[in-house]
Amino acid sequence: MQKIPFHIISGFLGSGKTTFLKRIIDKYSTETKIGIIQNEFAPANIDGAELKQSGKDFNLLEINNGSVFCVCLLGDFVNSLEKFVNQHHPEIIIIEASGLSDTTSISEIISASTLAEKIYLASNWCIVDAQNFAKVGLMKQRVSHQIRMADIVVINKTDLIETGIKKIREEIKKANPFTEIRETTYCNIDFELGDSAIKKFFFDEVKTLSSPNVNSMVIKSGRKLSRKSLELFLFKWSPKAFRIKGFVNLKEDKTVAIQCTFDSVEIIEMENNFHPTELVAISHRFTLREWNKSLKEFS
Amino acid sequence: MKGLELIKKAFALEPVKRVPWVPFVGVHGGFLTGIDAEKYLKSSEEVVKGISKAIEEYNPDGVPVVFDLQIEAEILGCELKWAPHNPPAVVTHPLADGKQLKDLHIPTEFDGRIPEVIKATKLLRKKYPDIALYGLITGPFTLALHLMGTDIFVKLFEDPEAVNEVMDFCTKVGKKMSEYLMEAGCDIIAVVDPMTSQIDPQTFETFVTPFVSKLFSFVREKGKLSSFFVCGHAQQNIETMCNCKPDNVSIDENIPLDFVKEIALSKGISFGGNMKLTVVLLMGNEDDCRENAIDCLDMGGKKGFILAPGCDLPRDTPPENIKAVTKLVHDPYQQEVIRAMDKKETTLEILNMNDYGQADKVIVDVITLDSESCAPCQYMVEAVKRVTPHFEGVVEWREHAIKKMEAVTFMSSLMVKNIPTICIDGKIEFVSQIPPKGDLIAAIQKRINKKLKLKIKSKRSEILILGEDKDETSKLNSKIHRAITELGKDVEVKMISDKKQIANYGVSRGPAVVAVNYKLKSEGTEPSLEVVKEWIKEL
């Protein structure tokens, strides 16, 4: 059985996630069976209702029972998602994650539970509202951890501000030096059903990506590595992975952002970091258990 | 030492012999007694049943009475959506839906589910005087978010005064709640404010610090202890949280424990956490849980640290997983084993032990940490040492101290998981507990008997009757059969009449009898040359 690509679209309320989703549904729902998950920490599920009105064909799973913001609620999320997958057999799943949700934990959980046999994490998008991002310093905290783990950050509503895009780009790069940044209005951007984040590195392998043995893996750990052992660790695993990315806390009291593809390892020092070591990998040549064990060996 | 006493020591940053353990049992209590989250959280009786069961099963040093951050919100007019596997979720926010702050009243002890919480606390207090009871209140920022909805984030900069007013109200609610809970018998008031993970330190200092600080000093005035619970990505706020002067901070897996330890201890505050809730406790197995627990124990250390899950345990967490943690917490030797295994696991070679214990003698292996430094190990080794002379050379014993690599390999190959363990001929017989002399002798004797039986069984005998004359051989045959029957032996009789075959046995004139003894030496494996030579020598 082919694995179902799972895409995360995060961003704060009003940033344009639903507009983006609508565009995706419009474009693909006739030929592809789309499963949408929504979890919004809002009075009522306005967005859900809005999507349903579009008249297009897709399956919707609404997580109204609290927002997926706390790891203690994720267990139930896994159960609902598993039921949803078994019932509707979507060919692609997109979660619209509210501004309060923890996208790293969502990634970790779909990559570790029994769901990992059916689903893999294909891409992680974060939509940023240019107008608000420029205006609101206070919001940065909440948006920044979603930006951290995003493959693509979309700066939306660029028409609403005259200047400052450059500054927003800098801020985003500061939080996540390897992310791809796209600018747009009305979320008018292309969405790739497959794995956009990988395609650019790995043209030929994209076909194999939804093969049954592709695993997406997430490690969240309090352990630290020395710079040297991090390099050894990455050189060991990157040739076997489509991609490895994330943030690692070093024994030298620094944090680095890393990005690896089969033939390259990039390490960039970060200014400051308030997170545990977080790593994501996609590979069909090793498992989370092996990878985790190896990280422990090097730490 | 009793749990409450131990926790008080940890809170006072006094070194402890054993790290206190506080499994945050919320609706998981209902799972233990087969009740859904809604029934559980609405009934003091069910809470008492669930927590009692948890205390019985998990041997904790402290427990929360009720873990539900929606109790206050419900009374203040937030609508709840109940779910069978989770605490309820707030779905409406009165201050966003037109209600005014002046319309809201501080809950009394008779409102909503507060009477049930108070009742449960009183009953548990009476039943378990020595266990620390945590009374949980909704942190002011999280309660404010319940009341205002996500508008609060916009209001933080557009209308800070309004936010402050709501925060002030929520703090008064918290104070009242703490009072009810302390009066009912709680030892520790936990201010649970997960939503603060969504703001940066400056916002925290402006909008949260002035309010929660009041709560902590109120608890202190009442002579009780306090803890500040947060979950999510709140690492940026840890220092600011400590500055609010709680007695303890408790965090989840999103914050590295060593980071919290450093800051908390430097501020003279104890800290707790941060076992992984979902990936490990809910979805992992017992090994994963032990591994994660040992990581936390080693990082946390024995001063000021309380081992706990990152947050409210998911309802359906397998009890075996929590029990595995409990056992580990109470068993320093098992902790050593996991550390030793963890270090060496990756380079470990697992031996094929299928043919182990097939020698004539019975081999007793005692797997220890090191009988010199581990008391139970020492007693176990002595027990074996005392017993073996009874068997006068038939039994041999050896100690395998896993501080040495070979011993770890040996231990893993025999699939031994606990220390100390006695294996008899490669089979695990006694785990952790020192067997009484009689039991040990009986177990060894049983093995000797079994071996003897095997030995007898492995011998196969045949009697061949050789001869061309049928009359002669059949006479002989019936005689031999009679002898076999009278002796009760298991012997096969074969008749050979072919001249050529008879000649093969070196027989020239019949009738003749050849007795053959077989012994099965190996089966299904290819024995080494040395081993085959040994067999030949026996002939």
Residue B463's identity, in one-letter code, is I
Q: How far apart, in whole angstroms, are the C-alpha atoms of residue A138 and residue A6?
A: 30
User: Mutate which of B80, B93, B233, B295 to test chain A, going by most A C-beta atoms within 10 A?
Assistant: B233
Domain end marker among B379, B400, B435: B435
Quote the pLDDT of residue B43: 97
Q: Within a domain: residue B335?
A: no
Chain B residues whose beta carbon lies within 8 Å of the beta carbon of residue A69 = 194, 198, 232
* Tokens read off for A37: 């998950």
Q: Does residue B98 sit at the A interface (CB-CB below 8 Å)? A: no
The answer on pLDDT for B282 being more than 60 is: yes
Range of the domain at B486: 457-538
Q: Within a domain: residue B338?
A: no
Top-confidence residue, B214 or B478: B214
Contact (Cβ atoms closer than 8 angstroms) between residue B515 and residue B489: no
Instruction: Check whether residue B480 and residue B510 sit in a common domain.
Output: yes
Contact (Cβ atoms closer than 8 angstroms) between residue B26 and residue B64: yes
**CATH number of the domain encompassing residue B253:** 3.20.20.210
Q: How far apart, in whole angstroms, are the C-alpha atoms of residue B521 and residue B296?
A: 51
Instruction: Check whether residue B430 and residue B525 sit in a common domain.
Output: no
Quote the pLDDT of residue B515: 79
Q: Is the full-model pTM beyond 0.90?
A: no
Q: Does residue B300 sit at the A interface (CB-CB below 8 Å)? A: no
Instruction: Check whether residue B420 and residue B483 sit in a common domain.
Output: no
Quote the pLDDT of residue B44: 97
**CATH number of the domain encompassing residue B385:** 3.40.30.10
The answer on pLDDT for B219 being more than 60 is: yes
pLDDT tens, residue by residue, B352-383: 777 777 777 888 999 887 777 677 788 888 88
User: Is there a contact between B157 and A136 if contact means CB atoms under 8 Å apart?
Assistant: yes
Among A102-116, A260-274, B48-62, B330-344, name the most confident range.
B48-62
The answer on pLDDT for B483 being more than 70 is: yes
In degrees and rounded to multiples of 5, residue B247 shows phi and psi of -85, -15
User: Is there a contact between B311 and A78 if contact means CB atoms under 8 Å apart?
Assistant: no
Top-confidence residue, B185 or A283: B185
Instruction: Check whether residue B283 and residue B369 sit in a common domain.
Output: no
| Cα A18 from chain centre | 16
The rounded mean pLDDT for chain A is 80
Quote the pLDDT of residue B345: 54
Q: Within a domain: residue B440?
A: no
Top-confidence residue, B359 or A255: A255
Note which residues in 425-484 of chain B have CB less than 8 A from chain A: none
Contact (Cβ atoms closer than 8 angstroms) between residue B300 and residue B307: yes
Band (A75; pLDDT cuts 50, 70, 90): confident
Quote the pLDDT of residue A206: 45
What's the CATH number of domain A213-298, 3.40.50.150, 3.30.1220.10, 3.90.180.10, 1.10.260.40? 3.30.1220.10
**ipTM higher than the 0.85 cut:** no
The stretch B165-181 carries a mean pLDDT of: 97
Quote the pLDDT of residue B175: 97
Quote the pLDDT of residue B179: 97
Per CATH, the homologous superfamily of domain A4-198 is: P-loop containing nucleotide triphosphate hydrolases (3.40.50.300)
Quote the pLDDT of residue B199: 86
Instruction: Check whether residue B462 and residue B425 sit in a common domain.
Output: no
Which strand ranges, in their side-by-side order, compose the sheet holding B225-229? B62-64, B132-138, B188-192, B225-229, B248-250, B270-275, B305-309
| Candidates A69, A223, A249; nearest CB to B232 | A69
pLDDT tens, residue by residue, B387-415: 888 888 889 898 888 777 778 788 888 88
In degrees and rounded to multiples of 5, residue A95 shows phi and psi of -105, 130
Q: Within a domain: residue B348?
A: no
In chain B, the number of structural domains is: 3
Chain A residues whose beta carbon lies within 8 Å of the beta carbon of residue B253 = 71, 220, 222, 276
User: Is there a contact between A72 and B231 if contact means CB atoms under 8 Å apart?
Assistant: yes
Instruction: Check whether residue B164 and residue B194 sit in a common domain.
Output: yes
Q: How far apart, in whole angstroms, are the C-alpha atoms of residue B428 and residue A189?
A: 63
The answer on pLDDT for A17 being more than 60 is: yes
The answer on pLDDT for A53 being more than 80 is: no
Instruction: Check whether residue B474 and residue B376 sit in a common domain.
Output: no
Quote the pLDDT of residue A211: 62
Quote the pLDDT of residue B161: 94
SS3 per residue for B169-222: HHHHHHHHHHHHHHHHCCCEEEEECHHHHHCCHHHHHHHCHHHHHHHHHHHHHC
User: Is there a contact between B254 and A249 if contact means CB atoms under 8 Å apart?
Assistant: no
The answer on pLDDT for B276 being more than 60 is: yes
Contact (Cβ atoms closer than 8 angstroms) between residue B68 and residue B138: no
Instruction: Check whether residue B145 and residue B192 sit in a common domain.
Output: yes
User: Is there a contact between A44 and B91 if contact means CB atoms under 8 Å apart?
Assistant: yes
Q: Does residue A203 sit at the B interface (CB-CB below 8 Å)? A: no
The stretch B215-235 carries a mean pLDDT of: 93
Q: Does residue A70 sit at the B interface (CB-CB below 8 Å)? A: yes
Top-confidence residue, A26 or B54: B54
Contact (Cβ atoms closer than 8 angstroms) between residue B113 and residue B41: yes
User: Is there a contact between B150 and A222 if contact means CB atoms under 8 Å apart?
Assistant: no
Instruction: Check whether residue B83 and residue B151 sit in a common domain.
Output: yes
pLDDT tens, residue by residue, A110-133: 888 788 888 988 889 999 888 877
| Candidates B233, B277, B295; nearest CB to A275 | B233
Q: How far apart, in whole angstroms, are the C-alpha atoms of residue B29 and residue B54?
A: 6
Q: Within a domain: residue B145?
A: yes
The answer on pLDDT for A167 being more than 90 is: no
Note which residues in 239-268 of chain A have CB less than 8 A from chain B: 249
The rounded mean pLDDT for chain B is 89
What DSSP line would sit under A121-157, residue for residue? EEEEEEEEEHHHHHH-GGGHHHHHHHHHT-SEEEEE-
The number of helices, as runs of H, and strands, as runs of E, in chain B is 22, 16
Instruction: Check whether residue B12 and residue B67 sit in a common domain.
Output: yes
Instruction: Check whether residue B429 and residue B463 sit in a common domain.
Output: no
Chain A residues whose beta carbon lies within 8 Å of the beta carbon of residue B255 = 276
Closest approach of B522 to chain A, Cα-based (Å): 37
Closest approach of B215 to chain A, Cα-based (Å): 24
Q: Does residue A74 sit at the B interface (CB-CB below 8 Å)? A: yes
Size of interface A-B (CB pairs under 8 A): 134
Q: How far apart, in whole angstroms, are the C-alpha atoms of residue B39 and residue B37?
A: 6
Domain segments of chain A as ranges:
4-198, 213-298
Quote the pLDDT of residue B200: 86
